[in-house]
Structures are given as C-alpha cells and as structure tokens.
C-alpha cells in the first residue's frame, strides 16, 4: 500500500536538475512565515533607526540588536519567569538574528521540511515543527535562562529527530533503516557544528529540538489510512498546534504594541 508520493516521483518533480526538491504547500507556508517575519524586523529596525536607510540596512545585514530580538519575541528567562511570557518559547523559533542566520536556516529547512512532509504528511509536520520548537527553547530556558535565544534551528533538529524515529519504529524495513542512518549523520554533523567555539549557537535548543522531534515522530508514526480515529486525532492536535502558535503571536503583537506606545510616548 502506497501512503504518499514515491521517492522516484518526487525526483521527477525536482527543479534545477535535482538541486532543489519540490516543496509542499505546508512547507512553503512555514518557510514564507519565517522570511516574512525577518523582513518585518528589518523594516522595523530601519524605521526606528536615526541613520539613513542605506546605513541602517548596512547595520541590519550584520545582525539585529538584542533589544529588537526581545521586542519581537526572543527567548529570555527573566521575561518568561517574571512576567509569564511563555509564548516566547514558540515565537523565538520564527526569529532570526541576521541575513546569514536566516539564510543558513532556510537553506537547511528547505531540504528537510519537504522531505518530512513527504513521509509524515502536513499534520505531523506541523506537530513536529511546533513541538520541537517548544522543547528546544524550553531546554534552552532551563539550561541558560539569561541568554537571548532565537532561530528555526530547534525545529530543524526536530525534523531530523522525526526522520530518525522512522528507523526505530520499523526495524525490519531496510528503507527505514537507511533513512535513520542518513539523518543520524545529519544530527551528528549538526551537533558538531553546534559545539564550534567561534559560533554563537544555542546548543540546548538544538538538543531539545532533536529530542522533541524524535519523541513525537516515534509516538505518531507514519500516516495510516485516512479518516481513521488515529489520523483524525493527529489532525486535531495539528489544528491545536496552529491555534497555539497564533495565540503566541497574538500575545507577541500585544507586547509589541505596548512597546510601540512607550516609544511613541
């Protein structure tokens, strides 16, 4: 029984001679949200800058200040513990600190996210993305609450973890074992890169995202027959994950509006 498009069919749909895999609709939406938020942060920084637009853009490409990241919902322990801003554990996963940061994350995610959606479907993709973002930044919060942390890399590691879980659930399937070994290398290379001393990388967020994605992937498994109670449950949970994300960004918008009022005053 075929549960989704075959790998050979996907290869036929690739563009630029196989260099760029065809993304699915949910994948495109998630990538678009990340890029759109980054552009809003750029526009806000340029608007608030006392410099010319050209000079302000020159500074933005190097990276946003911690203050701007905090305004847009970065993870930071004191604001979470003292003011109850737990929504930051979600919004932090959609923020990026510089052009290089978002470029690297979107490049990795573009490869990962379409493959996860191919195997798991849209509902499981959403659950893994949101769930691993939360587990990643929660571990980061516990590990180092005083550091401002952002980035979709927690979700990237969550996607890797979910793909690794396929092999554990299907031990007798050679293809599943090949997938597990392939993504295990991704995880090892990513973690080695995370420990590079010259990189300012939130290792805890990566580890938390990897663990969260693996657990979710193992519990949910691959999609089964449509309209079964199990699949309806997964879709309902995915809808709740979307609702939670919208709620977190609503809280961020309220916080942002309050900051704007203070700046205007």
All domains of the chain in start order, with CATH:
62-264 (1.20.1540.10)
pLDDT at position 19, please? 40
For range 171-200, the mean pLDDT = 75
Higher pLDDT, 163 or 1: 163
Mean pLDDT across the stretch 27-40? 93
Place of tokens 């699915």: 24
Statement: residue 260 has pLDDT above 50: yes
In the prediction, which pLDDT does 186 show? 79
Helix or strand run (H / E) with residue 15 = none
| 8 Cβ contact list (under 8 Å, min separation 6) | none
- Poorest-pLDDT segment among 16-20, 113-117, 168-172, 246-250: 16-20
Note the pLDDT of residue 90: 98
Residue 184 in tokens: 């295990």
pLDDT average, residue stretch 57-66 = 80
Listed in sequence order, the residues at least 6 apart from 190 whose beta carbon sits closer than 8 Å to its beta carbon are 156, 157, 160, 206
Highest mean pLDDT among 125-134, 156-165, 184-193: 125-134
pTM for this prediction: 0.86
What angle do the packed helices 99-143 and 203-220 form, to 10 degrees? 80
């Amino acid at each position: 029984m075929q549960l989704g498009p075959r790998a050979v069919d996907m290869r036929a749909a690739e563009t630029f001679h196989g260099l760029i895999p065809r993304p699915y609709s949910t994948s495109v939406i998630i990538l678009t949200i990340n890029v759109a938020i980054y552009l809003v942060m750029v526009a806000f920084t340029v608007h608030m800058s006392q410099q010319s637009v050209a000079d302000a853009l020159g500074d933005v490409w190097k990276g946003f200040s911690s203050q701007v990241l905090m305004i847009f919902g970065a993870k930071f322990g004191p604001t979470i513990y003292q003011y109850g801003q737990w929504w930051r554990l979600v919004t932090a996963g959609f923020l990026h600190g510089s052009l290089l940061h978002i470029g690297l994350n979107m490049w990795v995610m573009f490869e990962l996210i379409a493959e996860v959606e191919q195997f798991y479907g849209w509902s499981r993709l959403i659950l893994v993305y949101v769930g691993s973002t939360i587990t990643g930044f929660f571990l980061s919060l516990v590990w180092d609450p005083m550091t401002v942390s952002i980035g979709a890399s927690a979700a990237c590691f969550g996607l890797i973890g979910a793909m690794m879980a396929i092999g554990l659930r299907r031990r007798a399937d050679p293809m599943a074992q090949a997938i597990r070994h392939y993504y295990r290398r991704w995880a090892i290379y990513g973690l080695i890169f995370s420990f590079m001393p010259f990189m300012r990388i939130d290792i805890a967020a990566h580890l938390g995202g990897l663990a969260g994605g693996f657990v979710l992937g193992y519990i949910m498994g691959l999609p089964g027959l449509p309209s079964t109670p199990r699949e309806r449950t997964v879709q309902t949970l995915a809808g709740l994950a979307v609702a939670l994300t919208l709620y977190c960004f609503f809280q961020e918008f309220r916080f942002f509006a309050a900051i704007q009022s203070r700046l205007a005053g």
